[in-house]
Amino acid sequence: MIGMLRQLLGQASAPEADKQDLHLAAAALLYEVARADGQIDDDELDTLLDRLEQRWQLPRSQVKEKLHQAETAAEDATDYFQFTRSLRAHWSAEQRLELIVDMWAVAHADGETHPHEEYVIRKVADLLYVAHSDFIRARHLIRGH
C-alpha cells in the first residue's frame, strides 16, 4: 500500500534522486574551492574529477556531466548552506570529513593553497559540523603528499 502511494506521488525513486542531489551538492562545493582563487587550474580540475570519480565509482563522462551541473548550481547559489544542509542531514561524519579531505586535495593540487580556498574549506567544514581538529588533520594529510 505504501509502495503504491509512493509511486503515485512520484517518490519511488526518491532515494536515487536524493543520492544525485547529494552528489551535486558535493561537486558544487568542490567546484567552489577550485574557483575560490579566481582561476581554475588544470591540476585542480583534474584532481576534482579524479576525486569524484573515485568516491562515486562513476565513469568519467558522468562525473564531467555532474560537474557541469554543479558549476551552474554553484554560480547560481547565494551561499554554501543550500549545499551543506542536505549533506549534513544525510551523510555520516566520516563522509563529511572525506569531502573536506577532497576539498583540501583540490585546493592544493596546484602546489599551493590560496587563502580564499582555505576560507571556503573552513566555512564548509563549520557548516558540515566537522571538528576543527579534523579540519586541520585533513589539511596535513593532503599537504603531506
Residue 66 — very low, low, confident or very high, per pLDDT cuts 50/70/90?
very high
pLDDT per residue as tens digits for the range 119-140: 999 999 999 999 999 999 999 9
pLDDT per residue as tens digits for the range 74-110: 999 999 999 999 999 999 999 999 999 999 999 999 9
> Does residue 106 lie in a domain region?
yes
Name the residue type at position 53: E
> Does residue 54 lie in a domain region?
yes
SS3 57: coil
Q: Quote the number of domains for the chain.
A: 1
Residue 115 — very low, low, confident or very high, per pLDDT cuts 50/70/90?
very high
> Does residue 79 lie in a domain region?
yes
> Does residue 10 lie in a domain region?
no
Give residue 121's domain range: 16-143
Which run of H or of E encompasses 86?
helix 81-90
> Residue 22 and residue 70: Cα distance in Å, rounded?
11
For cell 567544514, name the residue. 125
